[in-house]
Every structure is written in C-alpha cells, then in structure tokens.
Amino acid sequence: MNGIALKILLGDRAKYIGLIFGIAFSTMLMSNQISIFTGLMLRTAHQILDAREADIWVMDPRVEYVDEIEPMTDTQLGRVRGVEGVDWAVPFFKGLTVAHTRDGILQQVILLGVDDATLTGVTPRLVLGSVENLKLPDAMIIDRAGFQFMWPGEEPGLGKEMELNDHRAVIVGISDASAPFTTYPVVYTKYSSARDYVGRMRKQMSFVLVHGRSGVDTHVLAQRINAETGLKALTWRDFMLATIGYYVRRTGIPVNFGITVALGFIVGAAVVGQTFYIFVIENLRQFGALKAMGVANGTILRMVLLQAMVVAGIGYAIGIGLCAAFFEITSRASSNLRGFELPWQVAAGTACAVLVIIVVASLASLRKVMVVDPAIVFRG
C-alpha cells in the first residue's frame, strides 16, 4: 500500500509542492537563523577559541566575559606559576586601540599581546608569514579581513606599516583569525609591544594563560589556582560558555533570533499542518473507500505517515541545502562573514524540529482518518 500512498501524494501536485515548500521554508529559516546566532555567539569567544594551547584562563575575579578587562599586575603571573600542577603560565594582553595607515585610514583594532618568549596565544592559522616573525622589532600580525579594512582593494602582503598610538608597526604575518564579534581588525603583537602601543600602566595584564601538567585535571587545577591566588580561573571551555552566556543574558540578540526561529517553526507548522490537513480531508473519501474494502486502520496510518515523512524528508533536504548554500555563498562574498556556517548540530536540531512539525501536522489529519466511517462511501 506504500506505493499507493505515494501515488496519492504525488497525484495532488499543487499540495505536494505546497507541503514541500512549507517544510523547506521552515527548515531554511530555522537553520539559517540558529546558525547565524551560534556563529555570532562563537564570535564573542573568538580569542578563547584561537588560543587553544591554554587549558585555563586566569583573570581578575570581577571579570565575567572575555571583553570585560580588569587589568592585573604582572606579579600575579608569578603567583599563578607557583601553583602546583601548572606546567606553564604566560601573560596575555587584550585591548582596543586606534591604528592608522599612511593613506590616512583610521581604524580601531583589537590588540592582542602575547608572551614575548613563547608567543603563546597567537592563532596558528597563518595565511602569510610565520608566528616566529613576531619576535622582530615592531612586528605585528593582522587578520586577513583586518588587512582589507586597512588597505582596501589590496592583496594581503607583508611589510605594510601602520601606526598604533604613534608607534610604528610592521606587518610580518597575515592570519586567518576567527572573526570577532565586532568587525575590528585583530592584531597580534608581543606583550611588551602591546603595552607600548597602549601606554604603560601599573596594571596591564588582561589574562594569564595556563597549561596544566600532563595528567592534571584542568577543572581541579582551575579550582586550585582560584583557591591559592584569589584570581578567577576557568577552563577555556567554561570561559567560552561564560562569555557566550553573558551575551545571551545581557543582550537582546537571543530574543531577536528566538522570535525569528519561533516564527519559522510556527509558520512552518501552520502552513504544513493546514495543507496536510486539507490534503487528507480531500482524500478522506478515498481513505473511507479503502477502509470499506478491508484496508486496516494501521495500514492507513502507515500510509499517511509515509506521505508525511516523504514530504518532510524532501522539504528538509531542500531547506537545509539552501541554508548550506547560503553560508557557502556569503562566506565567499565577504571575509567579514567568515565563520558563519551550518553546524551539524543545527542541522540535526532542525531535523528534529521538522519532525515535530510534521507529527503535529499529521496528528489532526490522522485523527480524522482513524475515525472516518467506511460507510461514508455509501453517502452520495
């Protein structure tokens, strides 16, 4: 009877296309918006994600997320290094400053200062140059999108100069750093240079990046650092979640995206539910005839569910394909849109939402089919 169910479905071309469109639209809207939302949220934690050699981030206890800097004195670094289980600990500077080029372009940049000796914290994804070049005088590494901000229309290249707070800086590397929440250029330099660029102060160290000894549990080590130094110590994952959580709690971003996603779900459920309901109601007499001829309720239930699943499967495939294509095209169109992609978790979550939509849409129709009196066929 499955073949008959599919022929009934395909026979009503207009509703079949309408159902697929409804599911595809809903899938596209939900997966697209959730992906952009997750992309935005991951952007808030881009520095944490790019400095993955560090197991633990140590900061002033008042810091709630990565963009909130409460500078510490450099002596705190020594205290952290003294905690049992710490393999290495290095300073990390994070701040904003203004850069300008010889062409007169003025641009605020995210300045990241990494340990002079080890250069720990620089993104390993370099497009041009090498991380080691950062040890050269006045050296800096800028991200590709940032380069295009500073020198629009030029191919990324090394040796370009710009000024940071009246200090000369030379580009020795082009990185593919994760996109930041704001679209400012991301500039890596040595910790000592970063302090010069923003002006030396007594407290300037933003974070201490820590790597634990082999075999030491990072959560336990973080608690130990916290207990022994009074500083806040979080594993990179906890710090990333805390940063994302801050933006989720303190901004209207989730509400905006949540509304759109909810609309996608509701509109999808309404369009698909209504169309599927009408489709089933219009075929009610046929289902009644099948029941009269001895087709069991269970078989008819499977027929309707098969129709629903086929529509859901095709609609989902089209919708998720469109979403993936959208991110592929937009990421190529502008480097500012890099990092927005369709995570598999979103694709899987959307599939579950579509399943819920189609089940909800089928339920009302199924009830009608289950209770239809086969004697309906005797009514002219």
Partner 1 sequence: MAVRCRGITKSFPAGAGVVEVLHGIDFDVPAGELTMLVGPSGCGKTTLISIIAGFLGTTTGEVETCGRPITRMSDGEKVAFRRSNIGFIFQQYNLLPALNAAENAAVPLVAAGMPMVRAAGAAAGVLERIGMGAHLDKLPNQLSGGQQQRVAIARALVHAPRLIVCDEPTAALDAESGRSVLEILKDAALAPDRAVIIVTHDSRIYCFADRIAAMEDGRIRTVRTAPFAHLSEVA
CB of 314 to partner 1, least distance (A): 17
**Angle CA 68–69–74, to nearest 5:** 160
- Which single residue is written with the structure tokens 């590397």? 173
- For the chain, report the end-to-end CA distance as a whole number of angstroms: 26
Nearest alpha-carbon partner for 247 in 37, 32, 29? 37
CB of 288 to partner 1, least distance (A): 8
Nearer to partner 1 by C-beta: 3 or 252? 3
Q: Give dist(CA 275, CA 158) in Å, integer.
A: 59
Nearer to partner 1 by C-beta: 169 or 300? 300
Helix axes 297-333, 344-371, angle to 10 degrees: 150
Q: Give dist(CA 107, CA 169) in Å, integer.
A: 14
Nearer to partner 1 by C-beta: 17 or 158? 17
Q: Which two tokens stand for residue 295?
A: 């087709």
CB of 292 to partner 1, least distance (A): 5
Nearer to partner 1 by C-beta: 187 or 372? 372
Nearest alpha-carbon partner for 34 in 330, 264, 269, 362? 264
Q: Give dist(CA 141, CA 231) in Å, integer.
A: 30
- Which single residue is written with the structure tokens 């810091």? 63
Nearer to partner 1 by C-beta: 46 or 291? 291
Q: Give dist(CA 320, CA 313) in Å, integer.
A: 10
Nearest alpha-carbon partner for 89 in 56, 113, 46, 130? 56
Site residues, partner 1 (CB under 8 A) = 1, 3-4, 7-8, 10-12, 285-286, 288-297, 299, 373-375, 377-380
Nearer to partner 1 by C-beta: 296 or 325? 296
Nearer to partner 1 by C-beta: 344 or 378? 378
Helix axes 344-371, 13-44, angle to 10 degrees: 150
CB of 3 to partner 1, least distance (A): 5
Nearer to partner 1 by C-beta: 337 or 372? 372
Q: Which two tokens stand for residue 167?
A: 């200090």
Antiparallel, parallel or unpaired: β 186-190 and 106-114: parallel
CB of 22 to partner 1, least distance (A): 21
CB of 364 to partner 1, least distance (A): 22
How far are the Cα atoms of 47, 180, 307 from residue 145, in angstroms, in the given order?
15, 10, 48
CB contact at 8 A, 233 and 222: yes
Nearer to partner 1 by C-beta: 290 or 323? 290
Contacts of residue 370, defined as CB under 8 A and 6 or more positions apart, other chains included, come to 297, 300, 301
Contacts of residue 376, defined as CB under 8 A and 6 or more positions apart, other chains included, come to 284, 285, 288
CB of 330 to partner 1, least distance (A): 41
Q: Which two tokens stand for residue 258?
A: 């949540």
Nearer to partner 1 by C-beta: 149 or 287? 287
CB of 278 to partner 1, least distance (A): 15
CB of 6 to partner 1, least distance (A): 9
